[in-house]
Amino acid sequence: MARSPATDSAALISAAAAVFKSKGYHNATIDDIADAAGVSRPTVYKYTQNKRALLDSMLDAVLDAITALWVPKTYATWADALRGAGQFHTVSGGWKAGQRGGMIFGLWA
């Protein structure tokens, strides 16, 4: 079954996340992302400046989701949220190598 091509930046970000998850950020290319999205290389550049801009968009979306779901309900400010995250980090034993990226890319996969 053929994939439908990416028709907006959200679909392109989703394709980029899948490529970053499977190949790693540094090994992924714009051509890989275009292939995963079912579009041409010029179409990728219609929606983004470069690979780093796609990663930044993913991180922005993750922070927006965290803000919407966690910060307003639990903490008054981002400073309070970061203090709380630091406490979680200390209690949980910290992040394992590669865990952070897997959690971010896992949101789209």
Domains of the chain, start order:
9-96 (1.10.10.60)
Whole-prediction pTM value? 0.60
b/e per residue 65-102 (b: at least 16 CB within 10 A): eeeeeebeeeeeeeeebeeeeeeeeeeeeeeeeeeeee
3-state secondary structure of 49: coil
Mean pLDDT, range 27-52, rounded to an integer: 94
Residue 104, pLDDT score: 46
**Rounded-to-integer distance, Cα 25 and Cα 35, Å:** 16
Query: Rounded to the nearest 5 degrees, what angle is found at the Cα of 48, between the Cα atoms of 31 and 26?
Result: 50
Residue 41, pLDDT score: 94
C-alpha distances (whole Å) from 58 to each of 20, 72, 76, 103, 108 are 11, 21, 24, 12, 9
Q: Which two tokens stand for residue 27?
A: 């090994």
- Mean of all residue pLDDT scores within the chain: 75
**Rounded-to-integer distance, Cα 107 and Cα 84, Å:** 22
Q: Does position 67 have pLDDT exceeding 90, yes or no?
A: no
Q: Compare 84 and 18 and report the one with higher pLDDT.
A: 18
| Sign of CA pseudo-dihedral 11, 12, 13, 14 | positive
